[in-house]
Amino acid sequence: MRDAPINLRALPAQRDLIDQAAVLLGKNRSDFMLEAACERAQAVVLDQVFFGLDTDRFQAFTALLDAPASPNPGLARLMAVQPPWKPQAA
């Protein structure tokens, strides 16, 4: 159950555009706007390249980055597959 209100004002043209898009997706305005806002918010959060770590966690993080990769048979199989857009070797 949703219980946290979010209120905003929009120009009539903006509201109409949002309504048109919502109808095309079979959604109501609130569901459309909430989904769109959450998708954008998630993208912004995931695009962050800065994150703070204390000294111990930073050292552990850099140790993981510097460690050799462990064998991954699934990845090796995937990388061995010839892409369909590449010409086959004769």
| 29-46 vs 12-24: helix crossing angle, rounded to 10 | 90
The answer to whether 11 touches 1, Cβ cutoff 8 Å, is no
Interatomic CA distance for residues 4 and 38, integer angstroms: 14
Which residues are within 8 A (CB) of 59 and not within 5 positions of it... i.e. 6 or more apart?
none
pTM of the model: 0.55
Q: What are the residue boundaries of the structural domains of the chain, listed by start?
A: 12-46
pLDDT in tens, 17-76: 999 999 999 999 999 999 999 999 999 998 888 778 999 999 999 999 999 999 999 999
